[in-house]
């Protein structure tokens, strides 16, 4: 079944690595302007699933569609301009200054205004380009580096952003700060987002909908409220209990 206004859609996607199942017949859709959180333990298939959307992973079976078109038939570079990506470790090139890192995707596109775009993207994530564009990644705090990673994902003005545990390695205060600015920014820009996290609190706070992955399968995909109210499986119930989320 396909939702008519789905921006991203995976249907029956499976992926194995040397016989090991990473994704097992996953179907999932993301509608325009929605933030979907993918939550699950380490090894549950979150990163593999996320990377199916921008063709960094090729499924063994099933289809992946972006705005109704099978991504297998789309030019990967053009696709990655329209789908911003924040990789799990941020992915900044250490020997490139901040500004050049942020310009990467517009530069790959051959866009003349890449410098303007990069400055605008830095502004969006709350970093003054005058102060930060000339710095090296190593001259930034962990939180600032993550902001730059998000700026880089936004610089080509994408419709969709994929974020792989973007706030994972930060201290609690920095994390809360980044979560809040991400939340207001994605609403303001009307971005469609897929946010990978292993923190159920983060998923419930930031996402409209949450998909719980376990061993490459989706245990439940539901609104944050519904997940809290009506966990579909014992595993989801256990997750809620462990996170001390009460109504389960
Ligand atoms: P998560 O992001 O939830 O931690 P991953 O999607 O990275 O999970 O991994 C899912 C499973 O697939 C894991 O068992 C992992 O070891 C395996 N896997 C992922 N990528 C590769 C790869 N490139 N080669 C071999 N195995 C992989
Ligand atoms: Mg991962």
pLDDT in tens, 88-112: 988 899 999 999 999 998 888 888 8
Rounded to the nearest integer, the mean pLDDT of the chain is 93
Contact by Cβ (8 Å): 36, 211: yes
Contacts of residue 241, defined as CB under 8 A and 6 or more positions apart, other chains included, come to 248
- What is the number of other CB atoms lying within 10 angstroms of the CB of residue 227? 28
Pocket of ligand 1 (CB under 6 A): 17, 20, 22, 40, 42-48
Q: By C-alpha distance, which of 208, 187, 53 is closest to 124? A: 187
Q: Helix, strand or coil for residue 26? A: strand
- Distance from residue 37's CA to the centre of ligand 1 (Å): 18
Using alpha carbons, list the distances in angstroms from residue 165 to 11, 18, 26, 185. 23, 25, 20, 17
Tell me 1's DSSP state.
-
The label of the residue with tokens 């990673």 reads 149
pTM for this prediction: 0.94
Ligand 1 binding pocket mutation candidate from 38, 48, 219 (most atoms within 8 A of CB): 48
- Distance from residue 44's CA to the centre of ligand 2 (Å): 8
pLDDT at site 246: 61
Domains and CATH numbers, the chain: 6-242 (3.40.50.300)
- Distance from residue 216's CA to the centre of ligand 1 (Å): 9
The label of the residue with tokens 């200054």 reads 97
The confidence band for 85, taking pLDDT boundaries of 50, 70 and 90, is very high
Ligand 1 binding pocket mutation candidate from 43, 59, 211 (most atoms within 8 A of CB): 43
Task: Return the structure tokens found at 163.
Answer: 């974020």
């Amino acid at each position: 079944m396909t939702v008519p206004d789905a921006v991203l859609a995976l249907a029956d996607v499976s992926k194995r690595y040397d016989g090991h199942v990473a994704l097992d017949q996953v179907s999932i859709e993301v509608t325009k302007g929605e933030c979907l959180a993918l939550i699950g333990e380490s090894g549950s298939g979150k990163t593999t699933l996320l990377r199916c959307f921008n063709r960094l992973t090729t499924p063994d079976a099933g289809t992946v569609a972006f705005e109704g078109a099978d991504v297998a038939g789309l030019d990967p570079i053009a696709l990655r301009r329209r789908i911003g990506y924040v990789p799990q470790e941020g992915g900044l090139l250490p020997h490139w200054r901040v500004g050049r890192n942020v310009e990467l995707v517009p530069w790959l596109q051959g866009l003349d205004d890449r410098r303007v775009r990069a400055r605008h993207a830095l502004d969006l994530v709350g970093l003054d380009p005058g102060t930060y564009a000339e710095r090296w990644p190593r001259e930034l705090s962990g939180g600032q580096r993550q902001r730059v990673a998000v700026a880089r994902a936004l610089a080509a003005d994408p419709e969709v952003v994929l974020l792989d545990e973007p706030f994972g390695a930060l201290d609690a205060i920095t994390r809360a700060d980044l979560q809040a600015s991400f939340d207001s920014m994605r609403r303001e820009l009307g971005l469609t987002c897929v946010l990978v996290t292993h923190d159920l609190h983060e998923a419930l706070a930031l996402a409209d909908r949450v998909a719980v992955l376990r061993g490459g399968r989706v245990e439940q995909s539901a609104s944050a409220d519904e997940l809290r109210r009506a966990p579909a499986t014992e595993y989801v119930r256990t997750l809620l209990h462990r996170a001390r989320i009460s109504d389960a």
